[in-house]
């Protein structure tokens, strides 16, 4: 797993992918913090997080679409699948590498609550909920994106499939409303990542909601492992 992780991290920063992701991530977050908090003199960091969450979701496939699809394009997937590491180690190594790059970007935003606190607007519980919410949500979507890459033949297909699955997970409650099924609506409400995220950003640290994101990430990592095991034969 460590060998795969190191290989992935090198690839992120030997190519423009890692730098482009971080540059766009930093620009979006700085712009919306300026727009939602500094210019309006709002001390509520939730305003900023609510504004950037959808944009950050659509950045995730930039990190994950190349995870396995690029290996096929460069014909290095055979080498990857014959490495002395089990499929779980390969998948986990790729997941942790993508997670690390995302955390690099997220870590730079820690300056924002510090700025608000210095201006007299300290909200420790709300800030914790916002960071925990965005971390859990994006971790689940990273797992989704890696699965999409594992079952796709090229990066474009992987990106499109990631966007579709992320859209369905994020807007699942709204889709249930469109179907007008009370039973389905109740089920989707219970497993709605959007509802759970909004609870977290309001400072409601519900263990069931946190577990939901962990379960989603776990399921997609298991599915990815199964897909790779099938290819390895």
pLDDT in tens, 68-118: 877 666 665 555 555 666 788 889 999 999 999 999 999 999 999 999 888
For position 154, what pLDDT does the model report?
86
The pLDDT confidence band at residue 196, using thresholds 50, 70 and 90, is: confident
Question: Is residue 148's pLDDT more than 90?
Answer: yes
For position 176, what pLDDT does the model report?
58
For position 99, what pLDDT does the model report?
97
Mean pLDDT of 124-135: 90
For position 174, what pLDDT does the model report?
61
- As a whole number of angstroms, the distance between CA 167 and CA 60 comes to 12
For position 123, what pLDDT does the model report?
82
171 CB contacts (<8 Å, ≥6 apart)? 194
Nearest to 4 by CA among 130, 69, 95: 95
For position 125, what pLDDT does the model report?
85
- As a whole number of angstroms, the distance between CA 92 and CA 3 comes to 11
Mean pLDDT of 119-134: 86
79-83, 128-132, 205-209: the lowest-pLDDT one: 79-83
Question: Is residue 10's pLDDT more than 70?
Answer: yes
Q: How many CB atoms lie within 10 A of CB 82?
A: 9
- As a whole number of angstroms, the distance between CA 38 and CA 218 comes to 38
The pLDDT confidence band at residue 31, using thresholds 50, 70 and 90, is: very high
Question: Is residue 184's pLDDT more than 70?
Answer: no
Angle between helix 155-170 and helix 193-201 axes, rounded to 10 deg: 70
44 vs 179, higher pLDDT: 44
Mean pLDDT of 197-226: 90
Whether residue 53 contacts residue 25, with contact meaning beta carbons closer than 8 Å, is answered with no
For position 79, what pLDDT does the model report?
58
Tell me what the pLDDT averaged over the chain comes to. Answer: 86
- As a whole number of angstroms, the distance between CA 30 and CA 59 comes to 15
For position 104, what pLDDT does the model report?
97
71 vs 143, higher pLDDT: 143
For position 35, what pLDDT does the model report?
92
């Amino acid at each position: 797993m460590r060998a795969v992780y190191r290989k992935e991290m090198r690839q992120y920063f030997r190519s423009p992918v890692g730098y482009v992701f971080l540059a766009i991530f930093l620009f979006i977050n700085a712009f919306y913090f300026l727009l939602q908090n500094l210019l309006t003199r709002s001390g509520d960091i939730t305003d900023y997080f609510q504004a950037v969450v959808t944009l950050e979701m659509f950045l995730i496939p930039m990190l994950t679409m190349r995870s396995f699809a690029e290996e096929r394009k460069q014909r290095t997937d055979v080498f990857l699948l014959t490495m002395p590491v089990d499929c779980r180690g390969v998948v986990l190594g790729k997941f942790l590498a993508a997670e690390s790059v995302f955390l690099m970007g997220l870590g730079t935003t820690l300056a924002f609550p510090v700025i608000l606190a210095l201006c007299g607007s300290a909200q420790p519980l709300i800030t914790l909920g916002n960071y925990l919410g965005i971390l859990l949500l994006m971790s689940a979507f990273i797992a989704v994106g890696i699965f999409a890459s594992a079952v796709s033949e090229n990066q474009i297909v992987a990106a499109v499939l990631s966007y579709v699955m992320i859209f369905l997970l994020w807007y699942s409650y709204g889709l249930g409303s469109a179907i007008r099924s009370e039973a389905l609506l109740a089920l989707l409400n219970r497993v709605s990542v959007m509802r759970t995220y909004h609870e977290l950003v309001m400072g409601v640290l519900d263990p069931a909601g946190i577990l939901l994101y962990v379960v989603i990430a776990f399921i997609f990592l298991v599915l990815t492992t199964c897909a790779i095991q099938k290819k390895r034969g």
